[in-house]
Each structure stands twice: as structure tokens, then as C-alpha cells.
Amino acid sequence: MNQDVIAGCYPCDQQVVAPLPPREDVVHTEHWRVAHAFNSTLPGWLVLLPTRHVTSFTELTPDAAEELGGLVHRLGAALQVVTGCVKTYLMQFSEAEGFSHLHVHLVPRLADHPQEARGPRVFAYLTDDQTRWLTPDERDATALSLRAALAQAHDEAAAHPPRCPGAPLIPRHS
Ligand SMILES: [Zn+2]
């Protein structure tokens, strides 16, 4: 039995399923798994989940905490490619009944995003009404598009490494 997960916790129960569909494993790192929110009506609403059951940021290992920034950065760029969003929202509460497993919401904010659903009110896109949820196929399709965008960004970064990473950003004048 994996000591890092707790039976009956939704993210933990998903964590031990293999193989996971793309919507539940858009991408993963050593310490994080990225899922498409199951109860979203907005394509691209992502949830970043620690692979261990933790309920606050302070319980993350230093390595897991350090991984988060780069992951948010890369996923934000992929969301811009896939959804055309102008920026992303980043939120963490983990307060819903049965969902205390730390989860970080990363949400695309589109140019034509309705005014009444901006800022914290973006949670209007999450609903208990299952008839309005994106279908599993729709969530899988978005997940696969995001994977492709992440892979392309990775390939481009590998093809064009910084020529002189140690060079000063501002030329010196003596
Ligand atoms: Zn858990």
C-alpha cells in the first residue's frame, strides 16, 4: 500500500489508477499531477495536485514546492496556445467537503470572458449540475491539445538554448 495516498480521497484514489485517461493526467512531474477539472463548463480549467496526500502548502516537500512555479509557467503558456486566453487565474482553497487534498486551480481567462465571471467569480464555471459538465471526450481532447503544446514548447526550448546563459543582461560600459 502506498503510504502517500489516502483511500476515499478523490485525488488519491485517481492517483493509484493506471493508466489514467488524459483528462486525469494531462501531464505529471515527480511531485505533481495535472487534471482537467471534472465539474467545469470551461475548457482548460486545470487542477494541479500533489502526488502525495497533503492539505496545505507547508506540508509539501521543498522539491515539490519548487516544481510548482515552473509547472504553472509552462501550463500557462500551453493554455494560451490551446485556448487563446490572455492570462490565467491561479487559486488554491481546498475547502470543499471531501476535497481537502491540496489542489491548485489554473484557469484560462479569455479575451471575451464575461465581466460577471472575472476574478473570484470565475468559480461560476464549476457546477454540481452534471448535465452542464464538459464530456470526458471533450476534457480528453483539451488534455491532448495541452500535451502537444507542452511538447512543442519543450522541443523549441531544446532547439534554441540560451547562447550564453552566464552573460550579463545589461552590457557593461567602462
Ligand atoms: Zn488525497
Q: How do residues 60-107 score in pLDDT, each as one tens digit?
A: 999 999 999 999 999 999 999 999 999 999 999 999 888 999 999 999
Nearest to 32 by CA among 70, 6, 81, 88: 70
71 to 108, 123, 141: CA distances (angstroms): 15, 22, 20
Domain range annotation of the chain: 10-131
For the entire predicted model, the pTM comes to 0.89
Higher pLDDT, residue 1 or 69: 69
**Ligand 1 centroid from CA 173, angstroms:** 55
- Expressed in angstroms and rounded, the spacing between residue 47 Cα and the centre of ligand 1 is 13
Percent residues over pLDDT 90 in the chain: 86
Ion ligand 1 neighbours, Cβ < 5 Å: 9, 11-12, 53, 101
Run of H or E including 28: strand 27-28
CA of 2 to the centre of ligand 1 (A): 12
Write down the CATH superfamily of domain 10-131. Answer: HIT-like (3.30.428.10)
* List of residues 6+ apart from 136 with CB closer than 8 A: 21, 23
